[in-house]
Chains A and B, each alone.
Chain A
Amino acid sequence: MSAAAPARRARKKVDAAFYVMLLPALLLFTLLIIGPALAGMFFSVTNYVGYGEYSFVGLANYLVLFTDPRILSAYGFTIGFSVVTVLLVNAIALFLAVLLNSKIKFKTALRGVFFIPMVVSGIVIAYVFNYIFSTSIPAVFGGSSILANADWAWVAVVVVTAWQAIPSALIIYLAGLLAIPEEVYEASSLDGATPWRQFTAITLPLVAGYVVINTVLGFKNFLNAYDIIVGLTNGGPGTATSSVAMTIFTGFTSGDYAYQMANAVVFFVITVLISIAQLRIINRRGVSL
């Protein structure tokens, strides 16, 4: 750690302290994140059941995966639910952001209220909504619980997921709206533009980049849906709201460890592909932040 070392060599000598600063993070990270990821990929081509002996089976797990109705329905539900939720979250968050950014009373207090869902635990709020859907709503409006209806239970999952996800999308939109200079609106209203025209001609194009960001982040989160589904429907009725994360976790108990690792690898690839596709769209649009 001497300060006098440099001049010796042409290449600057790195102070050992920098290695000590970086290595703990790097080593722990490799051991506990990358290590298990590689181990998982390894086991996905075996018939390991979680304990005992195992042998290689090549791509057998992967081939079965693509014909397994339980897995396919989990992917169908997860991707479909993510698409619907992303659309809903973006529409509502943008709507709220525009209102919260306009001339209103109690601005700080109102903003404060809309950000609360972000700080509460997903599983706990899902339990509260579980009661609302299964008891309160039937008591007030009649009918039976939406959670017990295999065709409609996904709506409840969308509603609660959106409820919790809107604040973070909202805050990004607010940041985007705040970046638009007020003068642009002033000039356009002098030209006689209606609020709606201002929204479509000024606001929308200028927040387009933020829409893409919210879509990327939203997809990344919704594809991993777990807490809220566990608290609301636990994957039911039947397997109607069973997400990919839930099917992977069955690998702990059902003896199909290697099979679910193959599922996890496929899931990872799909997640990355979706992210890359979205990033490409961003680059093409020339949005830089």
Chain B
Amino acid sequence: MAIAADPATVEAAAKNARGNRARQTGGAVSGRASRSAWLLTGVLAVCGLTVLLPLYLTVTMAFKTPEQSVDGNGFSLPAPLNPSSFADAWNLVGFPTAFVISVLVAAASVAGVIVLASLAAYAIVRQWDNKLFKYSYFYLLAAMFIPFPVIALPQVKLTAYLSLDNPVGVAVLHILFQLSFSVLLYSAFLRSIPGELEESARIDGATTWQVFWKLIFPLLAPMNATVGIFAFLAAWNDFMMPSLITANPDLQTIPVIQQIFQSSFSTDYNVAFASYLMAMAPTIIVYVFAQRWVMSGVTRGAIK
């Protein structure tokens, strides 16, 4: 953890850069600079195609008729436009159930990580002089090195034994796997909040719980967003854990149910891609609307 970074550095860097950018665009741009700007933009646009082409292919394939989807290279436009694949995919793979389960697992993971990690980090930072709390911090952090495959086998047995071989267990495990990193982020942030703030609240007779919920937790808002975004993406997109932990195939999350097209319906490409599109769309839509927060969240959390 030698590279444990404090998010403030990155924040400051970003702020600094915003100033620079404003300065750059503020000045008059010469003709030559403008030409090179367009050239670089062109290069980036071409590179961007490698990101967009697979997504374009997913959309066009999803709107094709079964006949059109089996011939050709996949990049041709759908003609005629056939939206019925979505209804087929919706019914075929049990999309509504999987969607509800994915939403619940992701929501529980986000809420669970935010509450458990912020409370633990607060206790650790405020009681740092106490050995129990200090060593707990290193104990929690050490687990960042434990990848899921390493403990998967005994974990699957344990969750089955505890009757957690279901979406509830998946959510709990997602919370715990996010815990290390989230406690790290919260602790770094909490250290920057001065203790005087709390002392005045305590003098007014506030209990530790009141101090946390009324004073500290609202101050953690930016970090809650960061931790929440990470937890959401990890839980929503995960394939490995639910596919191993959840015993009942009817209770699977969206990424896992996509498997069905690799075996049973391997030639229904239009239905398969409609299903893939529905699986990808929620995070992309959320991303497009929450881009600013996602980016700042990732920047804040990227350097661990």
0/1 interface trace, chain B 132-145, chain A, CB 8 Å (1 if under):
01001001100101
Interface status of B255 (Cβ within 8 A of chain A): yes
Contacts of B87 in A (CB 8 A): none
Count the A-B residue pairs with Cβ separation under 8 angstroms: how many?
A: 301
**Residues of chain B at interface, number, CB under 8 A:** 113
Task: Report whether A128 and B57 are in contact in the complex, using a CB–CB cutoff of 8 Å.
Answer: yes
Interface status of B28 (Cβ within 8 A of chain A): no
User: Which residue of chain B is the closest to A289 with respect to CB atoms?
Assistant: B5
Task: Report whether B255 and A171 are in contact in the complex, using a CB–CB cutoff of 8 Å.
Answer: no
Task: Report whether A175 and B74 are in contact in the complex, using a CB–CB cutoff of 8 Å.
Answer: no
Task: Report whether B140 and A29 are in contact in the complex, using a CB–CB cutoff of 8 Å.
Answer: yes
Task: Report whether A119 and B233 are in contact in the complex, using a CB–CB cutoff of 8 Å.
Answer: yes
**Chain A, interface SS category:** helix
* Distance A182 CA – B37 CA, assembled complex (angstroms): 17
* Distance A35 CA – B157 CA, assembled complex (angstroms): 12
0/1 interface trace, chain B 250-276, chain A, CB 8 Å (1 if under):
000011101101100000010011001
Task: Report whether B37 and A248 are in contact in the complex, using a CB–CB cutoff of 8 Å.
Answer: no
Task: Report whether A125 and B16 are in contact in the complex, using a CB–CB cutoff of 8 Å.
Answer: no
Task: Report whether B13 and A122 are in contact in the complex, using a CB–CB cutoff of 8 Å.
Answer: no
Interface status of A26 (Cβ within 8 A of chain B): yes
Task: Report whether A99 and B43 are in contact in the complex, using a CB–CB cutoff of 8 Å.
Answer: yes
Write the nearest CB–CB distance from A171 to chain B, whole angstroms: 5
Interface status of A75 (Cβ within 8 A of chain B): no
Interface status of A77 (Cβ within 8 A of chain B): no
Interface status of A1 (Cβ within 8 A of chain B): yes
Task: Report whether A179 and B13 are in contact in the complex, using a CB–CB cutoff of 8 Å.
Answer: yes
Interface status of B147 (Cβ within 8 A of chain A): yes
Task: Report whether B48 and A110 are in contact in the complex, using a CB–CB cutoff of 8 Å.
Answer: yes
Task: Report whether A3 and B33 are in contact in the complex, using a CB–CB cutoff of 8 Å.
Answer: no
Task: Report whether B150 and A14 are in contact in the complex, using a CB–CB cutoff of 8 Å.
Answer: no
Task: Report whether B123 and A22 are in contact in the complex, using a CB–CB cutoff of 8 Å.
Answer: yes
Task: Report whether A105 and B149 are in contact in the complex, using a CB–CB cutoff of 8 Å.
Answer: no
Contacts of A289 in B (CB 8 A): 3, 5, 9, 303
* Distance A217 CA – B256 CA, assembled complex (angstroms): 25
0/1 interface trace, chain A 137-181, chain B, CB 8 Å (1 if under):
001100000000000000000000001000010011011101101
Task: Report whether B261 and A139 are in contact in the complex, using a CB–CB cutoff of 8 Å.
Answer: no
Task: Report whether A282 and B2 are in contact in the complex, using a CB–CB cutoff of 8 Å.
Answer: yes
Write the nearest CB–CB distance from A49 to chain B, whole angstroms: 12
Task: Report whether A103 and B36 are in contact in the complex, using a CB–CB cutoff of 8 Å.
Answer: yes
* Residue from the list B124, B158, B288 in contact with A39, Cβ < 8 A: B158
* Residue from the list B24, B75, B286, B291 in contact with A112, Cβ < 8 A: B291
Task: Report whether A18 and B57 are in contact in the complex, using a CB–CB cutoff of 8 Å.
Answer: no
Task: Report whether A33 and B176 are in contact in the complex, using a CB–CB cutoff of 8 Å.
Answer: yes
Interface status of A81 (Cβ within 8 A of chain B): no
Task: Report whether B147 and A21 are in contact in the complex, using a CB–CB cutoff of 8 Å.
Answer: no
* Distance A260 CA – B150 CA, assembled complex (angstroms): 9
0/1 interface trace, chain A 7-35, chain B, CB 8 Å (1 if under):
00000101101110110111011001111
In order of increasing CB-CB distance, the 4 nearest A-B pairs are A178-B17, A17-B208, A179-B13, A36-B154
Task: Enumerate 25 A-B pairs (CB-CB under 8 Å) in ascending A order.
Answer: A25-B117, A29-B176, A33-B143, A40-B151, A99-B43, A100-B44, A105-B38, A110-B44, A110-B48, A111-B295, A121-B255, A121-B280, A123-B259, A139-B74, A175-B14, A175-B302, A179-B10, A179-B13, A181-B20, A224-B148, A227-B255, A248-B150, A249-B149, A264-B151, A288-B3
Further contacts, 6 of them, CB under 8 A, given A33-B143, A175-B302: A21-B212, A22-B136, A34-B143, A103-B29, A120-B280, A264-B153
